[in-house]
Amino acid sequence: MSENNSDRPSAGAEKIDALLQVMANLRDPESGCPWDLEQDFQSIASYTVEEAYEVADAIERRDMLALKDELGDLLFQTVFHAQIAQEAGLFGFGDVADAITDKMIRRHPHVFADADFRNAEEQTNAWETQKAEERAKKGEDSLLADVPLGLPGLTRAVKLQKRAGRVGFDWANAQDVLDKIAEETTELKDAMHGGDQKDIQEEFGDLLFVLANLSRHLNVDPEAAIRQANEKFMRRFGHIEKTLKSAGRTAEEASLAEMEEIWIDAKNLEKSGREKS
């Protein structure tokens, strides 16, 4: 069997070195790329988030070729940030690698030390204890201090709720959350009746926050659920467009009642397909 050079650790290190050199060349003040030279942490932050979503999208589609490419794009973002930091005298890529290596060793004493966890729950509890100790060393005394602001809203809501739930600040079950949703829905209706846009936004945010809590109690990832709903909407609306096009018409020319009828047809077709499978 021939050896795959890319599987050798030394080959991986060489490839990282090559990538770091590409980044250094792009940021070279004399011969670099004008666009890359203009960037800073803030200007590329949105690209970093976007690349992480594209990784998730490739995984969702089970497209391994795309996943390889998207992971490369995400790695490039890490290299980009590290290069900017190095130029500012803050830290370099090696420091980033050292930090995550140290953190993983520190948070996995059952692998790298003599701790012995009997199950995943014990490991999770130990992980949270370690994270709390790290927060304390940073002077962050709040349980919620290090939940990242840059997370998608629903994901951050779930993380905040999980943290609070660990000290007992939580509803007992999903039914209690459903009751709270009914309460928040009533408050949103009242705000709508009052007509104050600021109040409407606040009450709508409260409703979304409780819906995120329900997802947690139902063991549902809210971001995955909304992505699934988005894809379903696209499929069904695509069926409307295709059906109208076959009749020589467009969605703009159809009435809401017509489109609703075709939408129901799309739902029935999907249901029929599921039953056959």
pLDDT digits (tens, 9 = 90+) for 217-250: 999 999 989 989 999 999 999 999 999 999 999 9
Any idea of the CA torsion for 102, 106, 108, 113, to the nearest 10 degrees? 110
| pLDDT at site 144 | 87
142-220, CATH topology level: Helix Hairpins (1.10.287)
Any idea of the CA torsion for 255, 260, 266, 268, to the nearest 10 degrees? -140
Structure tokens at 180: 């709270």
Q: Are domains 9-107 and 142-220 of this chain identical in fold?
A: yes
Confirm if 170 and 164 have CB atoms less than 8 A apart: yes
State the pTM of this model.
Answer: 0.62
Count the Cβ atoms, other than its own, within 10 Å of residue 93: 19
pLDDT per residue as tens, the chain (277 positions): 444 555 665 668 889 999 999 999 999 999 999 999 999 999 999 899 899 989 988 998 899 999 999 999 999 999 999 999 999 999 999 999 999 999 888 888 877 877 666 666 666 666 667 666 776 677 667 888 878 887 889 999 999 999 899 889 999 999 999 999 999 999 999 999 999 999 999 999 999 999 999 999 999 999 989 989 999 999 999 999 999 999 999 999 999 999 999 999 999 999 887 766 5
Dist CA 184 CA 75 (whole Å): 42
The answer for residues whose C-beta is within 8 angstroms of residue 38's C-beta and 6 or more apart is none
Query: Which tens digits make up the pLDDT trace of 175-219?
Result: 999 999 999 999 999 999 999 999 999 999 999 999 999 999 999
| pLDDT at site 12 | 81
| pLDDT at site 276 | 62
Instruction: Give the start-to-end residue ranges of the domains of the chain.
Output: 9-107, 142-220, 223-276
**Where does 9-107 sit in CATH, by number?**
1.10.287.1080
Any idea of the CA torsion for 249, 253, 256, 261, to the nearest 10 degrees? -10
Amino acid identity, residue 156?
Answer: R
